[in-house]
Amino acid sequence: MVSTQYLMVNIPLFWKLLCKGKSCSEEIYVISKLQTCLLGKHALFSLVLVRNLNSICQISAADPKAKFPNLFKGIGVMKGCYSVKLKPGAVPCLITSPRRVPIPLLKQTKAELERMVEEKFISPVLKPTEWCAAIVIVPKRDGNVRICVDLVELNKNVMPELHQLSNAEYFLNILAGSKSFSKLEADSRFWKIPLGKMSSYLTPFIIPFGRFRFERLPFGISSAPEHFQRRTFQMLEGIPVSIYHMDDILIWGSTKEEHDQRLIEVCKRLKKCIFSQISIKFLGHILVGQGIHQDPDKIAAIENYQPPTNKKELKQLLDTANYLARFVPNYSEIFFPLTSMLSNKVSFVLEAPHEAAFQKLKKVLSSDPVLMIFDSRKETIVTTDAASYGLGATICQKQAYGRRSVIAYASRTLTPTESRYAQIGKEALVVVWGCEKFRDYLTGMHFKI
């Protein structure tokens, strides 16, 4: 509203104002010494240029628990029973005598069994069955035990569901522009899914305290991961702002407000969690707004690893290190002295070059390299290089300040045939291989090599 008390009024008018199909009649003042046109409160609301704000909603870490209390109590149950599909001609396996439970674990085992019956995860079996499995008792760090059922023979006859599981590298690079994160964790994920009665009688197990069958989907069934992933996909279908991998769901947003809105939408669908973080651990990586870091636990595992003494220990080391390969430039060249010892034609002898490769990897990982999150709107560059032992490729993107930031490294060892190529042939090979390796990023967009 403009006050005319201190301004010289030149021309008073009574005019009809129109804006996007809305109209109102207003008294207009044409005045001197005013550089910008102003509209009063009545005109602004009449033309719907502003709206009344009846309430302000601000989410905090405590709000989801207050708004959706049922999500944070107990295990929960998904709708619909799961039926285990057996292959044609499946042959039942019946274990008739239980494995002995270690005496120091008897009390904890009985207590865990009683808890599972009380929670209705399992129930006693009082009649003959065609199937029965043995159990293994695994001590937990908190002093309790986990009852693991050996369903190997049943799994030989179970038809797989073949639902795709999440790929960490692919999904972590669709988070461009994210600043705020939340992670929701499904406690005892498979036990949320009821088993059909016929399927339940495929899961009896024998223990010194009797025979029991599962009322919920057990962890040992081979089709359980794919089925749980499919159920999660069905629940969150239509919400493109979440990543789900087994029992973890990641929600993100470029602003806190956007993140909070998406979090509420996901919670509505789900009718344990970490809310509204600027840094979060997911799929074995640490996500921050600036990029992707390695999981410190995995780095610590490498740093604390002692030099291998045989090929089995060497393979275990390489399997752990391979998960971090995308953070390490020229990974295959660094590790070539070690990977070459896996060949059946070579005896295991740890010498100076192998120890040097081992220590170099530790040094590279301890520097905590950071990978940027891929953004399809930015200029993308692929650089390649062929060395004596292997191929290396890097995908980068040019940032606003002109600097190139690494999205991922990739490398592999040359085959014996490829190692005999001329250098120009190796360079051509690495260009083709690099583009194929990064095809999830490059397909459908222009890029430079």
If one compares 290 and 432, the residue with the highest pLDDT of the two is 432
pLDDT of residue 228: 76
**238/91 Cα distance (integer angstroms):** 41
pLDDT tens digit string along 257-313?
777 777 777 777 665 444 445 566 666 677 766 677 777 777 777 777 778 888 888
* Mean pLDDT (whole number) for 67-74: 58
Per-residue confidence band for 163, with pLDDT thresholds at 50, 70 and 90 = low
| 182 within 8 A of 250, measured Cβ to Cβ | yes
Output phi, psi for 277, to 5 deg.
Answer: -110, 150
Per-residue confidence band for 68, with pLDDT thresholds at 50, 70 and 90 = low
**264/57 Cα distance (integer angstroms):** 12
Mean pLDDT of the chain: 78
Check whether 147 has a pLDDT greater than 80. yes
CA atoms within 13 A on the CB side of 330: 10
If one compares 431 and 225, the residue with the highest pLDDT of the two is 431
Query: Which domains, from first to last, does the chain contain?
Result: 1-53 (no CATH), 168-189+226-292 (3.30.70.270), 296-366 (3.30.70), 380-442 (3.10.20.370)
Mean pLDDT is highest, among 162-176, 210-224, 241-255, 422-436, for 422-436
Beta strands in 204-247 (DSSP E): 205-207, 210-214, 242-245
Per-residue confidence band for 12, with pLDDT thresholds at 50, 70 and 90 = low
Mean pLDDT is highest, among 40-54, 150-164, 182-196, 354-368, for 150-164
Beta strands in 303-343 (DSSP E): none
Per-residue confidence band for 239, with pLDDT thresholds at 50, 70 and 90 = low
Check whether 428 has a pLDDT greater than 90. yes
**180/241 Cα distance (integer angstroms):** 12
CA atoms within 13 A on the CB side of 231: 23
**107/137 Cα distance (integer angstroms):** 12
pLDDT of residue 2: 43
pLDDT of residue 131: 92
In our burial notation (b when 16+ CB lie closer than 10 A, e otherwise), range 77-92 reads: ebeebbebeeeeebee
pLDDT of residue 407: 87
Region of residue 263 (left: phi > 0; alpha: psi -120 to 50; beta: else)? alpha
In our burial notation (b when 16+ CB lie closer than 10 A, e otherwise), range 18-27 reads: eeeeeeeebe
Output phi, psi for 191, to 5 deg.
Answer: -75, 0
pLDDT of residue 211: 93
Neighbouring CB atoms inside 10 A of 417's CB total 7
* Mean pLDDT (whole number) for 414-420: 88
| The dihedral formed by the CA atoms of 331, 332, 334 and 336, expressed in degrees to the nearest 10 | 160
pLDDT of residue 343: 80
Check whether 204 has a pLDDT greater than 90. yes
Signed CA dihedral, 332, 336, 339, 340: sign only = positive
Check whether 58 has a pLDDT greater than 50. no
- CA 409 vs. chain centroid, Å, equals 20
pLDDT of residue 1: 42
Check whether 57 has a pLDDT greater than 50. no
Check whether 227 has a pLDDT greater than 80. no
Region of residue 349 (left: phi > 0; alpha: psi -120 to 50; beta: else)? beta
* Mean pLDDT (whole number) for 346-366: 80
Check whether 4 has a pLDDT greater than 50. no
| 250 within 8 A of 282, measured Cβ to Cβ | yes
Beta bridge partners of 394: 383, 409
